[in-house]
Structure 1
Amino acid sequence: MTVSVRALRPGNRSDAEAFARIRMLALPYVFFTADSVEHLTARLHPDAHFTALLAEDDGEAIGTAQLSLAHESPEPGQALLNVHVRPDRTGRGAGTALVQAGEELLAGLGAHKVFSWVLDEPADRVFAERRGYRPGSTAQFLLLDLAKAELPPVPAPPPGVELRTAADFADDPRPLFELDAECTADEPGDVDHRLGDYGAWLEETWRHPLLRHDLTTVAVADGRPVAFTAVRTDGGVRYGTGMTGTARAHRGRGLAKLVKADSLHRARAAGFTEAHTGNDAGNEPMLAVNRWLGYRVCAREVQHVRELG
């Protein structure tokens, strides 16, 4: 039994498929496909230095790591490293080998602080803490049985607000970028992000292969988007919302509830049967919206951090 670690080979479909398969087995709440893996490795901003790693045991892919510099953070030297091992292949040293390889690469890029999401399970937390990582903020994964749930009706939009989709902004998505940037700056978490590069956003977010423009609901007031919920799907029957945000000047008007409810109703009409979302555990306003929609917590993860050097 020999575990080795290597980077994904550019353009190698079997590597992308192996990476996506392991990620979905280890963390089924976040959608990965071979197409999305290839998108990550080819489209992320060069300053991120994104790298995807595979751990192999005698040639069998059993673990993954994805690492990058948090180049959009105002604090330099921060990095991200997330490691996952197939649940039926743990205990073979793949996780340790991936952490070591990832930290070495990040240290070589000048990182001094590494953040890593870890499932809130005893074995996972012990693994992280034994390697010098200390726990920080907590996030929740939530699940809704879209096939059986009694969804609340879509609320009536406030005066002056109308609902559209991201597809309506296909000719000029910049207003959505500006809204996304404003909401991202206020997103809770241990690592601050600032979206400032429209071209990078187009490549990384707008053209992401799992993003569904037709299911991404946007609330518009005075011709400008003021709230949205971004939707990705897995190519099957699973639907997931990532960022849901409202412009600062329009908060407190129920727009997050409005756009999420509208999108869920249209997703069910389109045949999706399983809805996923996630929240920072301290984001009570968004958690309240998701409880109202019928979501229930299905797992938790804790962001850990380690100082390098």
Structure 2
Amino acid sequence: MRVVRISRFGGPEVLEVVEAADPVPGPGEVVVEVAAAGVNYADLSRAAGSYGGVTLPFVLGSEVVGRTPDGRRVVAFTFAGGGFAERAVVPATEVVEIPEEVGDGEALAMLVQGLTAWHLLRGSARLGQGESVVVNAAAGGVGSLAVQLAREFGAGRVIAAASTEEKRALALELGADAAVDSEPEGYSARVRQANQGRGADVVLDANGGAALAAGLDALAQFGRLVSYGNASRQGRPPVDAERLAEGNLTYAGFWLRPALTLDDGFRRPLTALLDLVAKGRLRVVTGAEYPLADAGRAFADIAARRTTGKVVLRVR
């Protein structure tokens, strides 16, 4: 079978499409005939050697959609790698069936992006009925879903923050009540104006750096800011506990992997997300599809910020 493998660390140039032996399932495992695989920034980090758990040579890919030997169409994580291949082995208990109304790219987007948005709102932010939510990077993979899920979960007002008019227009199209420029300078004032003169109950931030600090300034009393990324590469600035106490504020961090190990952390929310997509209540912003042989080009386009939506490698 064909796989996308790295034998050394680096950029898109280190990806090679080679022939490999078919994977052999162990006890409790199943082979998935891969139709498509999702591409994430973590895959680029693994190829570059800046992500743990990689022993060379290594087959990349942590998300697959395909068919099991009994014909079920399923989606699954391959966190140990091996997703960029014609066949992948996954634990039999961790495959989730996909409604026929849901496309491959839509199903793949529900794994990292969909489950992250779900847990941010349900677990970390503990969004309450009628509360206001600000979603930074609102046109991104997680942000575009969080805008819609916030409404689905009972938010009273959803405010999208994004860097361009085009991105803000998309967020409004997806259901945001208002959209503001995400530039840190003046961010708090713009959020308060968009939120009818008061601070926000929840801010979701994937940018870090100055954007994170501005998000804290935009919170109402007992507001919660959840940091789940560092897209700015500025790091997460230290937060003064006295400042939090004075505003009765909460500053939380989030990482998806440990959340998936919770009893209710994976199958139930993923099934619910797929159902929302199937019913047309959750719109997925899908992006480009590349043949498996063009994985290097997909990596290069992602690294250069030339892609939007969920990027997929088409295997068959």
Superposition TM-score tier, normalisation by shorter sequence: under 0.3
Which TM-score applies when normalising by structure 2?
0.24
Where relative contact order (Cα < 8 A, 6+ residues apart) is larger, the structure is 1
Which TM-score applies when normalising by structure 1?
0.25
More strand as a share of residues = 1
